[in-house]
Structure 1
Amino acid sequence: MTNCIIMHTRNSMQPNDLERIARQIRLRDLQAVYEAGAGHIGGEMSATDILTALYFKVLRVWPEQPKHPERDRFVLSKGHVALALYVTLAKRGFIPEEEIHTFLKPHSRLNGHPNCNKVPGVETNTGPLGHGLPVAVGMALAAKLRGATYHTYVLTGDGEMQEGSNWEAISSAAQFGLNNLTLIIDHNRFQQGAALKDTNDLAPFASKLVAFGWDVTEINGNEMAEIVPALEKRTARPHCIVAHTNKGHGISFMQDRVDWHHRVPNAEQYQIALAELSETL
């Protein structure tokens, strides 16, 4: 009965419902960063809409059975935004919501990078960039070999796409015809310490993925009406979603500012951000 209720709720979610949940997740993420005195709030804000759409609309998952064999797989390759995933998992019922207060505290299982041995709903440990997509390719290939029906999703950062391991994985996914794999690139145009264009600018991504044999969809990654159809899209080849997002999305003084990659708001900034995120709830 519980599974039926979960599936019904997930299927009935409309864009405005998802937008409300995303705002709640952003607000709790902000509070947790401020409480912990650490985090990667800029990238967490840019990725929240994608995480919300996945966990509250698209993914076939069962929070009370986090290892259900038929579950879809999601890999957070940009593991430094683990807090956004923790808040999403808590809101979806995988872990207690009050546990978010323990983020980064001694003996907490909510570390700065997700750990699949400690946190229900986390599929694999991530942190070193360029690891998540190769693991996701393995998951998708395993499903093909076993005849399993689950779909694998993986979220990377655009700066992370500078890692050569990602392009080896992209080539392999095309070679093996992994049409059960969706890569989402959080294209917020900034990485730690610099804009993407000032480091190793691989954008535009779409033409490169097409050249590797992938299907590609470009969307506004902070717009639910575009996110959900892209995530639900199925093609004959591996699918990449280039999600154009804003670093620090939803908080005026953080948006598109490279210094908010892992900066923590002071008391005055916290109150401003709190007010901005709360006024739309």
Structure 2
Amino acid sequence: MDNKTNKYYLPSPSSWPLIGSIALFCTLAGIAHWLHEAWYGPYLTLFGFFLLVYTIHGWFGEVIHENRQGLLSSEQVEHSFRLGMFWFIFSEAMFFGAFFGALFYIRVFVIPDLGDPQSVTHILLWPDFTGSWPLFANPDPSTFAAPQSVMNTWGIPAINTLVLLTSAVTITIAHWALLKGHRQTMLLTQLLTILLGITFLILQANEYGEAYFEKSLTLASGIYGTTFFMLTGFHGLHVTIGTIALCVIFYRMLKRDFTPHNLFAFEAISWYWHFVDIVWLLLFVFVYWI
């Protein structure tokens, strides 16, 4: 529906937020207990995950149905959606900011202090430790076995950087084509964006296999392994979510749900995808390169 109205649509009370909260709680609690080797950890995680998928399917399905009925055509409603997406991406930026902050704190303060011969910490705890990054010789190698080598910068990470930068171009072209009414170009570039996202995930899975089996780099490899997998792993999760969302948007494009004046869902996913691209550029520089 192209025409905007001044009528603000107020939906009926919904149980989806409560169900979603329960799903997230069960998923996170299940993962925590799984890591502590509780027998019910995997089952609680799976229950929470499938409940979360059910919530997303049902909640977003209702919103899509409301949009097709023209109930969300108010400028006020669209403004609310845009603000909601803005704060969601802001919260995601703070999420990754915490992990990048931990990485910078470790590299700039902790490692140099532990390796400083004049430091009391160095003298009392690990007098034989030499501070360097990436960390191959952990302060307590009996507890955390260091990896054999670091991840290559100009192999898969460089290719994945090119893949994501290309996907940023294709989704921008899809946006332009949607605004201009060029349906074939829109569909083709949206499909290319999806294929590029899948390519990124396949290459990252291959890189993880190399890290585990060839370089002995794991979450138990000390702080280098921990920061590497936490940052790249959560980014990979976001790429996975983004790729699924792109597939949903592509399906809605085939159903002709979007017009030049009714395309917020597409714009929201494109914002999210560009955010994922920016995070990867920071990862490439500070995790792989420098």
Whether TM-score is above 0.5 comes out as no
Which structure features the higher share of helix residues? Answer: 2
TM-score w.r.t. length of structure 2: 0.28
Larger radius of gyration: 2
Q: Pick 1 or 2: higher relative contact order, CA cutoff 8 A, min separation 6.
A: 1
Which structure features the higher share of strand residues? Answer: 1
